[in-house]
Structure 1
Amino acid sequence: MASNKPALEGPVATVAPADNLPYGHGLGESGEAERSWGEWNPTEETVRPVRGRHRVAKQRGLARSSTVLGVGVIAAVGAGGIATAQDKPAVSISLPDVIADNLPDATSLPGMGSSSTAERDTASEVLAQAPLTSAGLTAADSEQGTTAGEALRARILQQAEQQQAEADATQKAATETAAAVEAASQAKKQQTAAEKEAAEAKAKAKAEAEAKAEAERLAKLAASYALPTSSYTITSTFGQAGSLWSSGQHTGLDFAAPTGTPVKAVHSGTVKSAGWSGSYGYRTVLELDDGTEIWYAHQSSMTVTAGQKVSTGDVIGRVGATGNVTGPHLHLEVHTAGGAGVDPMAWLNGKGINP
């Protein structure tokens, strides 16, 4: 667009020339044009000194050229020459129809023609091709020739990568936590299993130790207890029912053996009695230190007497068939200190002896 000369700063006034006002309108008593804030009559008092070579052309009236006034008004408005009018009261300007009708076409004015439209189109194309914004560009981006769109895309990708990295880190932490919990659970299970195994091993070891101790005890007892005879066969057991016994059941343990087979003391003790005892035949009663009595019946002979001390394994008589019998055998009974009969087989087993 073509440039216009800047308007003079300072108060602006307009005037209607006297030779063009009908019927002397606007004239004072002296016949001169009456001044008002609507006059255009620059003077030394109203015009500031400006630099350069300027001169004020004499007014020759609006009749000379209405175009000059129109162009002047447009130029003054476009250049902001009436900015100082804000300090003065607003004055309306009215133009005769003849002036308005003869105003030049805008396209004929300097800078307002077709060249101005081409310039605007070119500027629009340049603006369309330019980046939307350069606010996101850094100095490094500018040096590398990065556009705002590329910089924005790079920052979006960087933010997405950062968010993905954070999500991966969170997932990794959750996985590690789950793995740690699972590992702790497995460790606890293993510890429980190990404790159970250790307890079982301890119980087994204890049982083995107890069994060993019992075996040692029985071995010691066996060393102090002995079988009542040898070369025998068990023919009747304790509590066995039958008509052969007067009580209806057997009260002892029968060792069938040849007549004359030695009968031995099962443990050390004192001979309480030795002699004939009715249906028992020849019977020896051996009393142990704890009061238990061992009865040996149906002997063919006896080699001890009452009050005699004997030791484990000593011969106290011989196998026979005296009394109420059907053949040679040793009838063995065991009675507690209170006199009650017990199973001889169980008693011998408790002493480490297995008939």
Structure 2
Amino acid sequence: MPAPEGIELQEQPTAGAWGEWNPTEDSARSLRGKHRVVKQRGGLARSSTVLGVGVIAAVGAGGIATAQDRPQVAISIPSLPDLVIGGTAGGGAHHADAHGSAADAEDSSNATGIIAQQADRHADAGQALLGRILQQAESQESAAAAQARAEAERAAQEAAAAEAKAKKEAAEQEAADARLAAEKAAKEAQEAADAKAEQERLAKLAGSYSLPTSAYTLTSHYGVAGSMWSSGYHTGLDFAAPTGTPVKAVAGGKITSAGWSGAYGYRIVLELEDGTEIWYCHLSSMSVTSGSVGAGETIGRVGATGNVTGPHLHLEVRKGGSTMDPLAWLESKGLTV
């Protein structure tokens, strides 16, 4: 069997001439000078395979014998890319410079292609990962922006609602203040109008009403209890004055009664237009005993007739058969008693 290219074999001795096979630096030399070492794909297993193929090619058809039985053989170990494993040691090993270069180029191209494919796959995976990361970041950024916008809108809505509430409360308070002010002004205006009307009424009444006498002193008021009165209490108002003091009509009306009346002495009854009766009692004399009279017209004189302790005018005011306080009635007519 011819030796593979790149390996020199010494002349094979006879079977008994084989000695110890111990390659040396001189016997193991490179055919092409510089020994190239490339990155081995496949690790230790492939390196062992290549070395084994080289040993088989060196031994040849004579078979494999122990190193004790063979002579020293000079072996030149080819570079790994130059050796292509194509089959068994007997017929599958091929090595040539031209073919080696092509195999080198093809192997390098294949390795480059595989590396490129792996790089492409890694690049594609990296691009996909980067795309997912960027997409996730964009999604998170969009969510954060949306949340920020929602919070800003909520804050704006709350601020607008608070402002609207404050304006509403201010408007309601202003309206309430205006309403109170208007009510107060209306009340004051009404009170002023009422006071004015009362003053006008009193002024009118003052011209229509007159005090029953002058130069008097009030001695007994209405409602005072005592045994001197048959009813148990005083039913009129006493104007103490000297005998003969003029007694006047308090308002325009007509005299319905004039004469003696027991404990009342001489009495004149003056009925007014509204039906109110004014009784003048204890008179010393009566000037008018019937007919109509005007306010302030003299109708009699103060005296001490009837059940009395001294000269005075006993004045009673009756309406519907019941007595009332003469002092309050005279004051209601605008008179100062």
Q: TM-score w.r.t. structure 2 length?
A: 0.58
Q: Which residue of 2 aligns with 1:268?
A: 252
| C-alpha RMSD over aligned residues | 4.4
Q: Which residue of 2 aligns with 1:318?
A: 301
Q: Which residue of 1 aligns with 2:88?
A: 96
Shift of 1:193: 3.3
Contact kept, 8 Å, 2:87 with 2:93, in 1: the verdict is no
Which one of the candidate residues 315, 325, 333 is aligned to 1:332? 315
CA offsets, 1:210-241, max 9 Å, x none? 33223322321222011111222222122221
Shift of 1:293: 1.8
**Secondary structure at 1:239 match in 2:** coil
**2:312, 2:89 → 1: CA distance?**
171
User: Could you tell me which amino acid in structure 1 is paired with residue 329 of structure 2?
Assistant: W
Superposed, which structure 2 residues align to 1:175-254 within 5 Å? 175-254=159-238
**Secondary structure at 1:219 match in 2:** helix
Q: Which residue of 1 aligns with 2:42?
A: none
**1:277, 1:167 → 2: CA distance?**
101
**2:321, 2:145 → 1: CA distance?**
99
**2:236, 2:243 → 1: CA distance?**
19
Contact kept, 8 Å, 2:265 with 2:281, in 1: the verdict is yes
1:168 and 1:251, CA in 2 relative to 1: closer, same or farther beyond 3 A? same
**Secondary structure at 2:308 match in 1:** coil
1:344 correspondence with 2:326: yes
1:328 and 1:100, CA in 2 relative to 1: closer, same or farther beyond 3 A? farther
Shift of 1:178: 1.8
**Secondary structure at 1:183 match in 2:** helix
- Gapped runs of 5+ residues in structure 1? 1-62, 75-93, 137-147
Q: Which residue of 2 aligns with 1:173?
A: 157
Which one of the candidate residues 302, 318, 321 is aligned to 2:286? 302
Q: TM-score w.r.t. structure 1 length?
A: 0.55
Shift of 1:322: 2.1
Which one of the candidate residues 239, 255, 263 is aligned to 2:239? 255
User: How many pairs are equivalent?
Assistant: 244
User: Could you tell me which amino acid in structure 2 is paired with residue 228 of structure 1?
Assistant: P
1:209 and 1:98, CA in 2 relative to 1: closer, same or farther beyond 3 A? farther
CA offsets, 1:141-184, max 9 Å, x none? xxxxxxx99xx999988986676455334412321222112211
Shift of 1:286: 1.5
1:288 correspondence with 2:254: no
**Secondary structure at 1:236 match in 2:** coil
Shift of 1:313: 0.7
Contact kept, 8 Å, 2:268 with 2:280, in 1: the verdict is yes
Determine what percentage of the aligned residue pairs are the same residue: 50
Q: Which residue of 2 aligns with 1:353?
A: 335
Deviates more, 1:168-177 or 1:235-244: 168-177
Shift of 1:100: 6.3
User: Could you tell me which amino acid in structure 1 is paired with residue 237 of structure 2?
Assistant: L
Contact kept, 8 Å, 2:84 with 2:93, in 1: the verdict is no
Q: Which residue of 2 aligns with 1:14?
A: none
